[in-house]
Homo-oligomer: A and B are copies of this chain.
Amino acid sequence: MKSTIREVAKLAGVSIGSVSNVFNGRRVRKDIYQRVMEAASVLEYTPYAVARKLALKKTKSIGLFIPHRGKEMFITGLWGFLTSLIHGIFKVTEARDYSFYLDFSSLSKIKEKDLLNKIVKERALDGMIIFLRCPIDCKLVAEIERQNFPTILVNAGLSGVNIPSIEVNNFKGAKEAIDYLIKLGHSRIAMITGPLEFLDVKERIKGYKQSLKEHDIPYDPELIKEGDWVFKTGYFHTKELINLKKPPTAIFCANDPMAAGAIKAIKEEKMLVPEDISIIGFDDQVSAKMLEPPLTTVRQPLYQLGVLSAKKLFDIIDRKNSGPTKKILDPKLIIRDSCTSPKNASKRK
């Protein structure tokens, strides 16, 4: 349990170097190998990871940072959303025999303790992936860049930064959703967004507006509601939307839980989804297909995002040429049963 390489060497009657060779899979004389293994077994020797790290100056571990603004992280089921991302990252790290650290500190804490910066400088990790949804202190990013610490920015949507990043095309996802709705004949389309400071939310709103514009549908600010990702909010905003003088015939929700809330609100008003109001979500969380009706939604390629970002990170750690420094993944519209043509389906461009 607490034996060292020295003791093993002594018991086996060989040098420390030979023991090290054996445990690092280098070619060793057979009898020496035998004796070392035997001694190690007797002493229950296992190399001490930390010491090895010090000698190697490698930690064989990477971290995933998910800075957040407040309490929303766990409350909103944001996790459901992250599942696949983490899965993807884990698959890659596992294959490389790396450890995987997770950190969900709040943005304020990160700033306060200069958390990331500390990690970068303490070199406790070989690299890190930062999943960013709301703007982060630019100084921090600049510092990371300057330190030249292997880092991947996921979903950051930052421009003018040289840190490799990988994102989902939120603009395109939203635009396709609205295009689809318009093709079905809708022209009065509402949107329940996420918090406006989220970078992906901004993109989705842009996509929404762009689609309207391309189809010559006027933009009506009355139809935009700022949400906060949670079920309840989708519910209440939908109630308000329904009670508008000119209610929408379709609602685009910036994530699935809010879409679930929307569906509930509509049903409560004795209306039908999709016959009276079509609903479209975003993410394609596991719950999307459990809804009634099954939710049409924009699927984010989260697993792939995880895999690609981890691979890219290892490329950097290995100092391979890492290809383009920015990659953008396309989301995909998953059509289920929550959308149809509006009742008075007159309009079609």
What residues of chain B lie closer than 8 Å to A290, measured between beta carbons?
Answer: 231, 257, 260-261, 264, 287, 291
> Which 4 pairs between the two chains have the least Cβ-Cβ distance?
A46-B121, A49-B124, A49-B122, A260-B290
11 chain-A/chain-B pairs, Cβ below 8 angstroms: A49-B124, A50-B53, A50-B57, A50-B124, A74-B84, A77-B83, A79-B79, A80-B83, A99-B101, A99-B103, A261-B290
Partner of A47, one of B77, B90, B122, B291: B122
**Separation in Å of the A70 CB from the closest CB of chain B?**
14
Are B80 and A286 neighbours in the complex by a CB distance under 8 Å? Answer: yes
Cα–Cα, bound, A261→B291 (Å): 10
Are B121 and A44 neighbours in the complex by a CB distance under 8 Å? Answer: yes
What residues of chain B lie closer than 8 Å to A103, measured between beta carbons?
Answer: 99-100
Are A264 and B292 neighbours in the complex by a CB distance under 8 Å? Answer: yes
Are A292 and B289 neighbours in the complex by a CB distance under 8 Å? Answer: no
Are B90 and A79 neighbours in the complex by a CB distance under 8 Å? Answer: no
Q: Is A42 an interface residue (CB 8 A)?
A: no
**Separation in Å of the A13 CB from the closest CB of chain B?**
23
Cα–Cα, bound, A74→B47 (Å): 32
In the complex, chain A residues 24-78 whose Cβ is within 8 Å of any chain B Cβ: 44, 46-51, 53-54, 57, 59, 61, 73-74, 77
Cα–Cα, bound, A105→B99 (Å): 11
Enumerate chain A interface residues (CB-CB to B < 8 A): 1, 44, 46-51, 53-54, 57, 59, 61, 73-74, 77, 79-80, 83-84, 86-87, 90, 94, 99-105, 118, 121-124, 147, 231, 257, 260-261, 263-264, 267, 286-287, 289-292
Known: A99-B101, A257-B286. 12 other contacts (CB 8 A): A46-B118, A48-B123, A49-B124, A50-B53, A50-B54, A74-B87, A77-B286, A79-B79, A79-B80, A80-B80, A257-B290, A263-B292
Cα–Cα, bound, A61→B121 (Å): 18
Cα–Cα, bound, A186→B317 (Å): 61
Are B100 and A100 neighbours in the complex by a CB distance under 8 Å? Answer: no
What residues of chain B lie closer than 8 Å to A73, measured between beta carbons?
Answer: 87
What residues of chain B lie closer than 8 Å to A50, measured between beta carbons?
Answer: 50, 53-54, 57, 59, 123-124
Cα–Cα, bound, A246→B257 (Å): 37
What residues of chain B lie closer than 8 Å to A287, measured between beta carbons?
Answer: 77, 260, 286-287, 290
**Shortest Cβ distance from A47 into B: residue:** B122
Cα–Cα, bound, A118→B1 (Å): 11
Cα–Cα, bound, A47→B121 (Å): 8
**Shortest Cβ distance from A46 into B: residue:** B121
Are B122 and A48 neighbours in the complex by a CB distance under 8 Å? Answer: yes
